[in-house]
Structure 1
Amino acid sequence: MVMRWDAFLAAVQERGEYSSPEEAERAGRVVLGLLGAHIVGSERAELAARLPETYALVLLNPLPAPEPLSPERFVRATAAWIEGATEETAKWDVSAVLSVVADAADEELMGRVLLQLPPGYDLLFGRPQPL
């Protein structure tokens, strides 16, 4: 089922404790643009199909990543794309957006998405994996 735009944005705004929907929208675009460069194939398409159209397009048309980013470098890259962000605030942005994305996906799809990412992304999605 596709998550509605207003529901997605409201959830990101609440989790990120943003003062405006615009802040939540900016975080969503940046984080999903970076995430899209790291997920390929049917997993990216299936994840996009569960998101509002605007965010689905961001996920499906990312800037190419020359190499997979570790979770720490993913957070640093997010900070670089959001004006005035620090690594601490970017970690908050990433977790707010990715936890809502994880809610839109089912456990099986999230498992396949996490297999494509370097270790540690489970924590960014708010879905710690057993060791």
Structure 2
Amino acid sequence: MTWNHLIAQVRDRGRYDSDQEAADVLRAVLAALGGRLVGEERCELAAVLPVEARTHFAAQIPLTEHADAPAFVATVADALNAAPAQARWHTTSALAALAEVAGQSLTDRILAGLPRGYALLFCRADLQAAA
């Protein structure tokens, strides 16, 4: 997959007016996700991303603590200067496209390592049992 194809997927999912808007959203979400993923899943996701996407993702140093899904969306909102509802739309548009690139198995493992609530951001059912 190429950077342009990934941007086209985000643009289509988010119904953005331009490739530039979709690229800005994708960069913000990649940076936020790069700060959340660690270990093998981080390396595997980086390996399947186009070079431009990998650069934005891998440039982030992972945080030592996992933030919950609302904090992740807030990070995207801050990066894009967007309202929370708009940031959630941006987040799901980009993460759904990234899940397609990653495939089901890797996406499942990524979600298993993140706090509850992230599955919905990837446009997947949150089937984890409540604690």
Q: TM-score, normalised by structure 2?
A: 0.91
Pairwise CA distance, 1:66? 5.3
**Structure 2 equivalent of residue 102 of structure 1:** 99
- Give me the identity figure in percent: 37
Counterpart contact for 1:37–1:64, Cα < 8 Å: yes
- Indicate whether 1:73 and 2:76 are aligned: no
Equivalent-residue separation in structure 2 for 1:119 and 1:113 (angstroms): 12
Aligned-residue Cα RMSD (Å) equals 1.4
Alpha-carbon displacement from aligned partner over 1:64-121 (angstroms, at most 9, x marks no partner)? 43532111111111111103x1001100100000000000112111111111111010
Structure 1 stretches (4+) deviating beyond 4 angstroms?
A: none
Alignment-mate amino acid for residue 71 of structure 2: R
Alpha-carbon displacement from aligned partner over 1:10-69 (angstroms, at most 9, x marks no partner)? 010111111111111111111110101111122111111111111111111115435321
**Structure 2 equivalent of residue 91 of structure 1:** 88
Alignment-mate amino acid for residue 95 of structure 1: T
Counterpart contact for 1:34–1:63, Cα < 8 Å: no
Counterpart contact for 1:9–1:24, Cα < 8 Å: yes
Equivalent-residue separation in structure 2 for 1:107 and 1:15 (angstroms): 18
- Within the candidate set 46, 49, 61, 1:48 is matched to 46
Consecutive unaligned residues of structure 2, counting only runs of 5 or more, are none
**Structure 1 equivalent of residue 124 of structure 2:** 127
- Within the candidate set 7, 12, 15, 1:17 is matched to 15
Counterpart contact for 2:116–2:126, Cα < 8 Å: no
